[in-house]
Amino acid sequence: MTEALSFLDPINRLAGFRAGWIGRLDGVEATTDRDQTLARLRPHHEAIVRREFGADRWWRAEQVHGRGVAEVPVSGTRLAGDGLPVVPEVDGLVTSKPGELLGIYVADCGAIWIADRGSGAVGLLHSGKKGSELGILGEAIRTMTDRFGSKPADLVVVLGPCIRPPDYEIDFAAMIAEQAQLAGVGEFHDRGDNTARDLSLHYSYRIEKGCTGRMLALIVGGENV
């Protein structure tokens, strides 16, 4: 588990919040079949989440490269090809319920962590080229404002490792930073890690031509906030 990586410090230093990141895992065969590879990663991810978060499950978005955001807990899930339930047709999850663990898979797209210092709510987004162009970060902030009373100035937002120029022609990380500024986010952090530059740490869909795994982003919050 690499939740102690410095890029997550802005959230992990906040009382009541915990953000995590499971990077590339040695010894797990990857294929061009996403579900098959996720099924191979699943027992490793489950063991790490159980050890580090004390949880046997986490909420997961279907990830359709859109701007949809869902509040969890929710009853309407479906089984994905790797056998785990997903919240259908969304790329972002938010919750104000303490102890609900959110998860997002990425391999070049950006994971965006959101922690609300005011209400204790959290969000986790999958934002690549399409999601960034569609403004999923703004959609998530609006959702948190409407449902939890979140104030943008209270939000701490972190963008994780993702593919960047010159290895990708679209600088969607810059789009995300601009959207955070326009929304009035209190803190936005991006260390600038490029998934295409270090395959010992990251999976990269583009560099590995689809024959790759997925990193897992995690967040839980609301406790003692």
Taking Cα atoms as reference points, which of 136, 218, 198 lies closest to residue 172? 136
Omega prior to 161 cis, within 30 of 0: no
Handedness of CA 60, 64, 68, 74 (dihedral sign): negative
> Would the pTM of this model clear 0.85, i.e. be above it?
yes
User: Does any domain span residue 147?
Assistant: yes
According to the model, what pLDDT value does residue 4 have? 46
- Average pLDDT value for residue range 22-35: 95
| 114-123 tens-digit pLDDT | 999 999 999 9
By the 8 A CB rule, do 136 and 104 touch?
no
User: Does any domain span residue 180?
Assistant: yes
User: Does any domain span residue 99?
Assistant: yes
According to the model, what pLDDT value does residue 75 have? 86
Please state, in angstroms and rounded to a whole number, the distance separating the CA atoms of residues 188 and 207: 28
Pick from 16-20, 28-32, 52-56, 219-223: least confident: 219-223
User: Does any domain span residue 225?
Assistant: no
Chain position carrying tokens 């990193």: 215
According to the model, what pLDDT value does residue 223 have? 60
Please state, in angstroms and rounded to a whole number, the distance separating the CA atoms of residues 66 and 160: 18
Domain of 79 in residue numbering reads as 6-220
Q: Is the pLDDT score of 224 beyond 90?
A: no
**DSSP 8-state assignment for residue 152:** G
What is the rounded end-to-end Cα distance, in angstroms, of the chain?
Answer: 24
Structurally, how many domains does the chain consist of? 1
According to the model, what pLDDT value does residue 83 have? 87
To the nearest whole number, what is the mean pLDDT of the chain? 95
CA 186, chain centre distance (Å)? 19
User: Does any domain span residue 1?
Assistant: no
Distances (CA, A) of 22 to 34, 144, 172, 200, 218: 17, 26, 22, 13, 8
19 strand-pairing partners:
219
Chain position carrying tokens 């949809």: 68
CATH number of the structural domain spanning residue 193? 3.60.140.10
CA 188, chain centre distance (Å)? 15
By the 8 A CB rule, do 185 and 155 touch?
yes
| 122-154 tens-digit pLDDT | 999 999 999 999 999 999 999 999 999 999 999
Q: Is the pLDDT score of 2 beyond 90?
A: no
